[in-house]
Structure 1
């Protein structure tokens, strides 16, 4: 669901989000419009938590695998990825959101009701913002799609099935059995 303008008029900004109620909804902003979606279900959360644990075990000092912190793609857009990898010192700066320059990877667990947002909108916005890597975890297909930044857009580097193992040097050296996510 989208709300075109905030009460009183004008575009939504990251600062406006602090005034919204804690009502079980997730709030993001695209181009000054408020995006509202229901909070993720238990299965979605379990997948994100499993992946976080797998990445946490291998993340080097100075990098943080996190959740529940937004990324400000630009002043008029703000998204909260299911997971991210960022430079840990970026958290010391505070503020309402991480800057894209501090984020090395964003991960979205694709929900059937929000698939377009993850597959099209966020893919475009994260790419334009310059975030080097974007992973899409698709529970129904049991796949992990690895996208890499090339010239302001993402290219598909790999689509891995549950039986595959991701071996990568980015965002840090890791070995990830994809089936362990599901």
Structure 2
């Protein structure tokens, strides 16, 4: 029989969440101090994230890099208060972010993230399109891409505005092209 650790009995700060580490039972995120668990992604989901990363890497300027499946501190609460941490499928950050984490510890900060990519799963459609969309906008992340790998594969690109949160561009299939944060083209057909 395998022992299953009990969930924390109080709302967690981002620091407490980061100190929990990995337990191998799925993916965890932190929502207003509450530990939220979800099943591990499907192979198709993971392959789509990898292919997005592989397409982005050669197109980014030298000061930017791609990181997959990593916790980010949304910086929506003071360090001593119940916090918010999400684990996007793919992020684009300034290269200095990883060096800062290596030197100081902690998590990648939302203020270091330029693009966050979420791949929709059967159990995450509302979370990705509503909840995370609002949290990422509140955290000030400039670009949010929502990728749906159901046939036909599509991408909804959202960009942050001053007053209204994210503004949607058109949902695209086939090829996605953007000039921000740098000139990028993604072959969405390669994600299936």
CA distance in 2, matches of 1:71, 1:64: 15
Does the 8 Å CA contact 2:69/2:87 hold for their aligned counterparts? Answer: yes
- Cα distance, 1:71 vs structure 2: 1.4
TM-score (norm 1): 0.89
TM-score (norm 2): 0.84
Structure 2: gaps spanning 5 or more residues: 1-6, 78-82
> More deviation in 141-150 or 121-130?
141-150
Structure 1: gaps spanning 5 or more residues: 1-5
Q: Deviations over 1:6-56 (max 9, x none)?
A: 53x431122333325522311100111111001111110011111110001
Return the structure number with greater strand share: 1
1:144-159 matches, within 5 Å, as 144-151=155-162, 153-159=165-171
Q: How many residues align?
A: 175
Q: Which one scores higher on RCO, CA 8 angstroms, separation ≥ 6?
A: 2
Corresponding residue SS for 2:123: helix
CA distance in 2, matches of 1:175, 1:85: 14
1:77 aligns with 84
CA distance in 2, matches of 1:170, 1:70: 23
